Amino acid sequence: MRVVSELLIEIKQFLSIVIAFAPKFLPAVLKTLELSVVSILLGTLFGLVVVALKLTKLKTLEKITNGYISIVRGTPLLLQLYFIFYGLPLIGLEFSRSTSAIIGLAFHSGAYISEIFRGSINSIHYGQEEAGKALGMSKYQIFIHIILPQAFKRSVPALGNQFIIAVKDSSLASVITITETMLIARQFVAATYNPFPILFIAGVYYYVIITIISRLLRRLERRLSVNER
Amino acid sequence: MKDKVILEINNLHKSFDDLEVLKGIDLSIHEGEVVSIIGGSGSGKSTLLRCINYLEKKTKGEIYFEGRKVESTPKSRNEFRARVGMVFQHFYLFPHKTIINNVMMGPVIVKKKDKRLARESAYRLLEKVGLEEKADVYPDMLSGGQKQRVAIARALAMEPDIMLFDEPTSALDPELVGEVLQVIQRLAKDGMTMMIVTHEMGFAKEVSDKIIFLNEGKVAEIGTPYDIFENPKDERLKSFINSIW
């Protein structure tokens, strides 16, 4: 009997902390959303630009983009964020904390997204390009009207993965003292000495954000597949 | 009527690395003429067609279109291609576009034609190939024969001066070959200038004004269907015909 009532008390305490602290997370969750959405959009833009530069097949551009991708993939995001926030000011490039975080995150996912785009562009059958050429289209017209729409559709599943990773990666911005979900969680843990309910709240927020993103992506995928039998 | 030379090919060579596929082809195609190209596999038939509209980069030789040399600059190449229709063995329809949009795409994007007008003429072309009721479906919903008819309509939409067919029926189930050949035959009757790479000997015999037999990258024999099928001179052509009939 005593065990049961102790458990009930524990649960009550857990719930009361959850209820008390969940709303206090909101500003930080909004920050997480802001970091994720902006870095996803910018990252996608970077990815497109990088893959477009690569497709020009100009040696110098190719070398630069390859260098970018190999540096981003070859080092941890944590280190990249430190470098932008603490390292770049030493050579006179100083950004606000938020800007540093967004640059770092977008730069990071941009490299992966460009590789996703490259893969899906390469997967389009060469006959598609030839059919465009045979109609007299320029390289640019073929890319915009024939290759890109088909490649984009193929990139959606992998892109979705990358977007989800970007949401989680935004938690690393806490290391440059940005008050997003993970940092606020740590502060609340320190204040309450009760990590379990606090981390539970943080986890639920992440889970909800990511579930919404994957639902939206699934809907997009369905809409893009109208041309399939 | 058939005295105006529309396409002239001079000393066309094509090598893939060390392999010389075309070893100096000379040809002239007259307006309204239907020319079939036959030959064994590896004889260079498809390569010849692909070199003509620069899908393959030729190694040597010149192409003259309506008396003017086609330069290999992108601009000159694209302008030339816009006047040359091409139909591929595997159709290569655009899967993300509806049938009508497939047909409209060339005029709208390359010729900047008004969308409404382009749609009207695309619809008329679909009627011509008997597929107007498929206008709003996607290529995935069509049979091979239907896809190839759409591909023909798509090429025709550019109002080309000459049509190139690269084995248009080779990827089709036997029962679907007829509907595509019929469309090509009707084009021939309408006076379209055409070059057709084909394995359909009966069809080539019936539809062609001139047949070219390619062997090992050279024109081994050229003549009327009667010359080629009833009175062949070249030894390899004789054995080719024997092996096919």
Q: CA of B20, closest CA in chain A: separation in Å?
A: 23
Confirm or reject contact between B94 and chain A (CB < 8 A). yes
Chain B residue numbers with beta carbons less than 8 Å from the beta carbon of A133 are: 53-55, 81
Please compute, for residue B192, the number of CA atoms within 13 A of its CA located in the half-sphere on the CB side. 25
Contact present, A25 and A198 (Cβ < 8 Å): no
Return d(Cα B195, Cα B49) in angstroms, integer: 8
Chain B residue numbers with beta carbons less than 8 Å from the beta carbon of A134 are: 53, 55, 81, 84-86, 88, 155
Return d(Cα B88, Cα A11) in angstroms, integer: 70
Region B212-225 average pLDDT: 94
pLDDT > 90? residue A35: yes
Q: State the greatest distance between any 2 C-alpha atoms of chain A, in Å, as a whole number.
A: 84
The pLDDT assigned to A93 comes to: 87
- Packing angle, helices A26-55 and A148-169, rounded to 10: 140
pLDDT > 60? residue B2: no
* Domains located in chain A, CATH noted: 20-228 (1.10.3720.10)
Return d(Cα A225, Cα B89) in angstroms, integer: 25
| Averaged pLDDT of chain B | 94
pLDDT > 80? residue B1: no
Q: Cβ separation of B81 and A133 shorter than 8 Å? A: yes
Q: Cβ separation of B84 and A134 shorter than 8 Å? A: yes
Region B158-172 average pLDDT: 95
pLDDT > 70? residue B245: no
How many distinct helices (H) and strands (E) make up chain B? 9, 10
How is residue B245 written in tokens?
Answer: 């009939």
Contact present, B177 and B100 (Cβ < 8 Å): no
Contact present, B210 and B223 (Cβ < 8 Å): yes
Closest to A138 (Cβ–Cβ): which among B78, B155, B158? B78
Task: Say if pTM beats, i.e. exceeds, 0.95.
Answer: no
Q: Cβ separation of B94 and A228 shorter than 8 Å? A: no
What percent of chain B has pLDDT above 90?
Answer: 93
